[in-house]
Structure 1
């Protein structure tokens, strides 16, 4: 008999290959090392068991991943499954040659207990997602960053509090002790158990296969934007190693750095990955693993990503891409805060605002790399005849914007527009009213000149007379047979969603 289920099942998407929809389920059991039993039921006469893999043992906890696949048919399938012959669950597999229905969210926690006390109904948006999912099920759930908030690691662990009290010179020289390592490992492990064990999130994570990518709070605030000396010090690296292991374990459901199912994985140190799902392709950008003050992703990741884009536009491809979704946790199109960044000359980590400014794609330090990404996406869109849409989070506001190219290198004018859809936060608090007002009035309406031929601009948010929506929200993406995207933001306190349609390229 297997142990008591503490967390799970949490569904993960492992890819689409030769008409097979690959899925996994993460389960954390306590007490016994016997693997759990997960039985999939396509119909009463077609049942089978998933294959179990032990990913981690911690104290008397056992973290398991169970893998299986379903052959797609010409109709959408509701797949029932049961864990340990006890609890019944289900999820939905899209029909063959159809596009998956997708929900997207980001920022699923709060910075500290003080902020938590300001949240009236912490999981209200999860309840809305549950209601909408029951009416018309989602096939995939994109979680775009800050799935957990680990910033309390500095307050929760006494040796780290003592380390912070030292001078900078002594902090940089201090070792990451065994005591620190044990307490940090326990901190991240227990934090994931708490986050994934909440009633409302757990219900949805057991019904919609997930694709996740981390951001700084999954590590700690501002990771990658500190000075090289701080980033390289033993304590920072020790904490990062534990955050990385637990991200890989609980969010990617991977036993090692390469265990991502049929996803294409780019680079050696990062987790940027991609899936090709018929007419639809997805790239999830890892903006943290390889980040420094002067770099977001490594040259190797950029090179491999470009190769994948080149292969995706190959005309010999049996299922050419009609719509590419780029999941960038941090917005590529945003209000230009570089003047504010230049005015703040503080050491990273001293103020949350300063961290956030240096983390932005629009940061002065990342201007060239951002331009490289934008130009690569425009080039791919023109040459592949494929619509590109960016999906992002992080900002704690909802907004939409677009990039526009004045290039004359294409006969298809539609390739000169790339839309961005931003949804944030699902749990965390929106910015203070005054900050939101100042951003709206002073910054959000300006057109950014990215270079001589490309501009970026925020649009009026659908159904409103403003560009920034300061309420908690999540995003629904429905892609029709022509690969047109119907985007709907579900907003706290509002009955009807805000809707925007992104058309496909004309044939």
Structure 2
């Protein structure tokens, strides 16, 4: 966990500690044997104090009044290559100010495991007049078998006064297995959506049903975990948005009063959304791992014109959104202050983090982040519009799987997604960490947020940027004609910010190609399969990069074969059927370079829930590549793993039998045995059972798609496929000279 300095005594805070004793597990004689962490605890590294005067509020309520939470996060595992790895995570509690929570108690949830309860004191990350954020940094050992742990915090009460005394449970895989992943994105609604007509966040009911049948160990948030767009419709930016003169809107200041109003809006929206069932029911029992995207700030942030993105109001909300992203989604203290035109020191020119503003610190307290957690890769300089450095994540998800989440929003402009030096940091870090695993990491799960293997829409970009749009823009400016076609910020075509977000957009073409080439190099060097997660587009699909057929490299040995699992949205409404069908028609076989091709798999053999009462078709009969229906994804190892030499030792073995598989003439069809029969009839379609396909180190993937948006229980139909591990060294083909 990131090291956070203890608060000064006069702030009424409790010093940070990692607990009273080490985690325990059963010894061979049935007694409890201590399993000591293999690295120093964070408590030994905390120094200094936080900043700010605090709200000077003393709570008089009976018990601890909880505003939001508990929220559970996964951070990393330590001692990956020893016999006793440790799971590191955190619990976040948002309470009324002026009251400190008691110790968190953590213990095994299974009576058969003898272990002593561990207790952890909280660290106050932030406090102001409306709330106090408390973080509990926890750690538990990976055991010989999958384990369940439960935690509780005493005297918790809701704002209505109801006691919250039921312990929450979470699961860890055995130390011989990788984590079972749930992946989601776009967990909110766009402005103007009839949320009730779409049954609210109904698919989280399905997530909880699957979790009860076979537990998830981590849930990866791919961006847009919350939608803050209404800040401009019924929030504090509404008067600013209503300014008709673009110049006046661009130069409008972002004073302390507006900052405080936006701060209240973002806080309230997070509390509302993260406290809404059934999403809230998952937050405390499935560990989260999140990277943000534009709606976590505001729609299109980073992809509007540079002169508009630099306007005070946009830079201001960027800072406020980042503050609550750090707190709610990462359980970390925010910068001491955020951008405001009333405090010139906050408006840029620094090379690390926004300096303090006395006005903001007068009634708030911010903990000092003393040492960054090693799971983070921190950019070297602030973003162009958010006054903070980018924050990327690399961690191991159990025995053989690693995760890389790239922050593609903090440094984004219309013409670049990340700084070149940031990419070098990321690739070098991954290379070093995978090398340290000595061949132990067999899969890298890469989160990009926006799909990278996806149909081109450059023809549409060209139309929207062409002179034919100019007369319509003039009519819009003077008479409001085609109002919804143009955005309310810089007067540009509203759809363009979405297109500019795509890696396949014309201005990102070179950057995209460099990313894929670096990934290919990492995959080949380490014989490590790379699978990409993407969201944003509000439909489900499976893109793939692969070596051109003329090279005759089977997928099991093809370092260029990288599936892009597109899962979006878990809550927001999907695009119209016509848009999904258009994308499917644009599903050409593209050529990234002379050796690398890409296309979508024809994954969807039928519409979800076809034939069931009240279920309407989601796509055309000839569209099997894009599915415009709400969804989420499940990723898990195809085979069970146990101690070496016991019931199928974890040794490298040949992947699935590709000798009976014949590569298709049409790459939209299956490229290997794991894609054969992909869809509802595939063995992985339930998302619960292991298929045993594609060898010892293969992965199973299921995209669970909503049948009926009117169903408040969120029932889904699963579409499955499997991914082979990569065995570069075992290939003796003629395609490449290496």
**2:188–2:201 contact (8 Å) kept in structure 1:** no
Q: Which digits, 9 at most, give the CA deviation of each residue in 1:363-401, with x for residues without a partner?
A: 111111101110011111111100110011111000001
Q: Map of 1:27-426 to 2, 5 A cutoff?
A: 27-42=93-108, 46-84=116-154, 86-112=165-191, 114-117=192-195, 119-158=197-236, 160-162=238-240, 164-256=242-334, 261-268=373-380, 269-277=389-397, 278-314=399-435, 317-318=437-438, 320-345=440-465, 349=489, 350-406=492-548, 413-426=557-570
Q: Which residue of the partner structure matches residue 435 of structure 1? A: 579
Q: Which residue of the partner structure matches residue 70 of structure 2? A: 9
Return closer, same or farther for 1:263/1:171 CA change in 2, 3 Å cut-off.
same
Q: Say which is worse superposed, 253-262 or 412-421, in terms of deviation.
A: 253-262
Answer with 1 or 2: which has the greater Rg.
2
Partner SS state of residue 55, structure 1 = strand
Partner SS state of residue 162, structure 1 = helix
Cα displacement (A) at 1:160: 4.6
Partner SS state of residue 156, structure 1 = coil
Cα distance in 2 between the residues matched to 1:188 and 1:370: 32
Partner SS state of residue 147, structure 1 = coil
Count of residue correspondences? 503
Q: Which digits, 9 at most, give the CA deviation of each residue in 1:67-115, with x for residues without a partner?
A: 1100111111110111215231100111113100010011111112x31
Partner SS state of residue 533, structure 2 = strand
Cα displacement (A) at 1:3: 2.8
TM-score by length of 2: 0.65
Find 2:719's aligned residue among 472, 481, 498.
498
Q: Which digits, 9 at most, give the CA deviation of each residue in 1:15-62, with x for residues without a partner?
A: 100211012111111153213432111267510212311111132311
Partner SS state of residue 372, structure 1 = helix
Cα distance in 2 between the residues matched to 1:405 and 1:378: 11
Partner SS state of residue 66, structure 2 = strand
TM-score by length of 1: 0.94
Cα displacement (A) at 1:452: 2.6
Partner SS state of residue 416, structure 1 = coil
Cα displacement (A) at 1:356: 0.7
Cα displacement (A) at 1:309: 2.8
**2:102–2:121 contact (8 Å) kept in structure 1:** no
Q: Which residue of the partner structure matches residue 49 of structure 2? A: none
Note the residue ranges of structure 1 that are not aligned, 5 or more in a row.
Answer: none
Return closer, same or farther for 1:163/1:179 CA change in 2, 3 Å cut-off.
farther
Return closer, same or farther for 1:47/1:164 CA change in 2, 3 Å cut-off.
same
Find 2:87's aligned residue among 7, 21, 24.
21
Cα displacement (A) at 1:408: 7.3
Q: Which digits, 9 at most, give the CA deviation of each residue in 1:320-351, with x for residues without a partner?
A: 32101101110001111111011102787544
Return closer, same or farther for 1:194/1:451 CA change in 2, 3 Å cut-off.
same
Cα distance in 2 between the residues matched to 1:367 and 1:48: 51
Cα distance in 2 between the residues matched to 1:146 and 1:9: 20
Cα displacement (A) at 1:256: 4.7
Cα distance in 1 between the residues matched to 2:313 and 2:462: 29
Find 1:477's aligned residue among 626, 629, 635.
635
Cα distance in 2 between the residues matched to 1:372 and 1:212: 25
Partner SS state of residue 570, structure 2 = coil
Note the residue ranges of structure 2 that are not aligned, 5 or more in a row.
Answer: 1-61, 80-84, 156-164, 336-368, 381-388, 470-485, 607-622, 642-695, 708-714, 731-738
Cα displacement (A) at 1:415: 1.2
**2:274–2:280 contact (8 Å) kept in structure 1:** yes
Cα distance in 2 between the residues matched to 1:218 and 1:250: 11
Q: Which residue of the partner structure matches residue 447 of structure 1? A: 589
Return closer, same or farther for 1:44/1:95 CA change in 2, 3 Å cut-off.
closer
Cα displacement (A) at 1:405: 3.2
Partner SS state of residue 56, structure 1 = strand
* Structure with higher helix content: 1
Q: Which residue of the partner structure matches residue 700 of structure 2? A: 486
Cα displacement (A) at 1:159: 5.4
Return closer, same or farther for 1:162/1:401 CA change in 2, 3 Å cut-off.
closer
Cα distance in 2 between the residues matched to 1:47 and 1:308: 36
Partner SS state of residue 452, structure 1 = coil
Cα distance in 1 between the residues matched to 2:213 and 2:536: 28
